[in-house]
Amino acid sequence: MRLLFFLKKEALQFLRDKAIFLFVLYAFTLDVYIAGNGFILTLKNGGMALFDLDKTVMSREMTSRIRKPYFQWKEEIESSEEALRLLDQGKTLGVLTIPPNFQKKLHQGRTVSLQLLLDGTQITSSTLASAYIAQITADYGQEFALKYYGISSPTMAHMPRVDGRTRVLFNPNLEDSYFTALDELFMVVTMISIILSATALVRERDYGTLEQLLVSPIKPRQIILTKILFTMIALILASHITLLLVLQGAFGIPMRGSYLLFMGVTALYIFSCCGIGLLIATLAQRLGQIGLLTILFLAPILFLSGGWVPTEAMPRWMVPLTYLSPLKYYTDLGLGIYLRGESFSLAWREILAMAAVGSGYFLYGLVRFRKIYR
């Protein structure tokens, strides 16, 4: 009965704080939707400029293959100085230069080199553009070589070759939203869990009601557990709404694993983040400091999660630090359960590791809280 009373109190405080309520509502709906639509991991409509010094049928045929949806030609230029000016001003992703006598040299059986200048400040787009255009030019060169040596398509079909066939599992169409929307949801759960749990305690101190609670019949750990329990209930409901309205409703991302297992893992992860929030509450002197301290803790949690940079690509000395980030386990578990359909028999080790890390943060925060408010 006492627990229900304090849960009702936390719910009323949450609903009355319009700023926090609207922030949570935005984060679990519009923010995840924008991330799923706005974060594109493939190249799309990359702006290109053409410097064609040959202006023949074959040069036009070559450039016609560099087209939407990956590229779009913005303009054709007449000098190398203009190419450098466009790149210096950031008006184009790259400039493709076709040398003079392009068609003539190919008909003579000679090798022709094309020049591709890319804007290195757009590192992801430039890397993808380089790979795409290299593949396009290689395919064009191979087709011309077959025609040049008189090798027909039926003859090619009977020649020995290695035929590599790719089958993409779990995301057959390679939809970016499958990863970006889920990854944003994991980040939102992390951030809101920390902020809500820290705010709930610091608010009581700012309003002068924390001392009243401490001298009441309930124990300090019961106060903390009540606030954490409400945070878990609120964010599980918010996550459920995100799954129904955004992930499945807007993006059509199917849940291949157990819904109950996914929500159970989410609840355990929220508990882990609440431990970090409890630690922040012992460091913050007022409500305004919670945001700054949250950023201080959130940045390494995100960077070490493997969601932005794969663990394999990190420096060797940094890899052991990733095991201190509870988001690393939640990202692996969330993607595994939601997209790959992992069962508990495959996920229990990571669940146990996340529980251990989360318990460590929670116990440390609880010890600090009791030490400060004994």
Give one DSSP letter per residue of 157-217, joined into a string.
HTS----------S-TT--THHHHHHHHHHHHHHHHHHHHHHHHHHHHHHHT-HHHHHTSS
Tell me the domain boundaries of the chain. 2-39+174-372, 46-157
Q: Give the pLDDT confidence of 154-211 residue by residue, as tens digits.
A: 766 677 777 778 888 888 888 888 999 999 999 999 999 999 999 988 887 776 666 6
Instruction: Give the list of residues 6+ apart from residue 353 with CB closer than 8 angstroms, or none.
Output: 323, 329
pLDDT of residue 308: 79
Q: Which residue has the higher pLDDT, 195 or 143?
A: 195
Q: What is the pLDDT of residue 273?
A: 95
Rounded mean pLDDT of 38-57?
A: 88
Mean pLDDT of the chain: 88
Residue range 261-276: mean pLDDT, rounded: 95
* pLDDT tens, residue by residue, 334-371: 999 999 999 999 999 999 999 999 999 999 988 888 88
pLDDT at 372: 73
Which has the minimum average pLDDT: 4-13, 202-211, 303-312?
202-211
Tell me: pLDDT of 374 over 70. Answer: no
pLDDT digits (tens, 9 = 90+) for 14-29: 888 898 999 999 999 9
pTM: 0.84
Contacts of 300 by beta carbon, 8 Å cutoff, 6+ apart: 321, 325
What percentage of the chain exceeds 70 in pLDDT?
Answer: 94
* Structure-derived torsion over alpha carbons of residues 184, 335, 192, 230, reported in degrees to the nearest 10: 150
pLDDT value for 217? 63
Q: What pLDDT is recorded for position 341?
A: 93
Q: How far apart are CA 108 and CA 148, in angstroms?
A: 9
- Single out the residue of 227, 226, 219, 222 nearest to residue 203, CA to CA: 227
Which residue has better confidence, 236 or 174?
236
Other C-beta atoms lying within 10 Å of the C-beta of residue 240: 14
Q: How confident is the model at residue 301 (pLDDT cuts 50, 70, 90)?
A: very high
SS3 assignment, position 340: coil
Quote the pLDDT of residue 131: 93
Higher local confidence (pLDDT), 205 or 85: 85
- Per-residue model confidence (pLDDT) at position 114: 93
Q: 109 pLDDT exceeds 90?
A: no
Task: Give CB contacts under 8 A, 24+ apart, made by 74-78.
Answer: 74/47, 74/48, 74/49, 75/49, 75/50, 76/49, 76/50, 76/51, 76/52, 77/49, 77/50, 77/51, 78/51
Percent of the chain as helix, strand, coil, to the nearest 5? 65, 5, 30
Which pLDDT does position 190 carry in this prediction? 96
Q: What is the CATH number of domain 46-157?
A: 3.40.1710.10
The C-alpha R_g of the chain, in whole angstroms, comes to: 28
**pLDDT computed for residue 203 by the predictor:** 82
Lowest mean pLDDT among 73-87, 176-190, 230-244, 306-320: 306-320
